[in-house]
Every structure is written in structure tokens, then in C-alpha cells.
């Protein structure tokens, strides 16, 4: 397990990878809201390896496309 700073950097890289993948899939980045939290907002306690793995996540919201008429 790395330092908080190292883990934050990994979380940012993970979020950027998700953005890239979604953009390649055709979703414009202006429709995306991505957040990576890591240790700052843990979904589980940090006492087991399983809990640590579940906190390695990126929360993604994709906004509905606004059709121009």
C-alpha cells in the first residue's frame, strides 16, 4: 500500500483511463462527470485487501445528450 499522494495519483490516472475509453467509444467528454476518491471517500473500511480493492473505483455519470431541433 502506497502513500496517500501516490494513491491519489493512481486514482487520477484511473479516472483519465476511463475518460479515454469512453471517448473512444463515442461519448463526448463534455457529457462526462468522473470522480475518483480513493482513501478520501472510502466506500468500505480499509482493513482488508478486499475492502482496499473495492475502493479502487471511479464513479462515472454520463449526461443525457441534448438534441438540437
- Cell numbers linked to 17: 483511463
User: Mean of the per-residue pLDDT values for the chain?
Assistant: 78
> Residue 8: which of 33, 23, 48, 16 has the closest Cα?
16
User: Hey, what's the cell of 45?
Assistant: 473500511
Grid cell locating 32:
462526462
Using only C-alpha atoms, the chain has a radius of gyration, in whole angstroms, of 15
Q: What is the pTM of this model?
A: 0.65
Tell me the three cell numbers of residue 51: 475492502
Read off the pLDDT of residues 20-45 as tens digits, 9 standing for 90 and up: 999 999 988 888 887 776 666 655 56
Which residues have CB under 8 Å from 24's CB, separation 6+?
Answer: none
Amino acid at each position: 500500500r502506497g502513500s496517500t499522494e501516490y494513491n491519489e495519483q493512481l486514482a487520477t490516472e484511473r479516472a483519465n483511463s476511463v475518460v479515454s475509453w469512453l471517448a473512444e467509444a463515442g461519448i463526448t467528454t463534455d457529457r462526462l462527470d468522473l470522480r475518483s476518491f480513493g482513501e478520501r471517500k472510502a466506500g468500505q473500511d480499509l482493513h482488508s485487501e478486499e475492502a482496499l480493492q473495492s475502493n479502487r473505483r471511479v464513479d462515472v455519470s454520463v449526461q443525457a445528450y441534448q438534441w438540437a431541433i
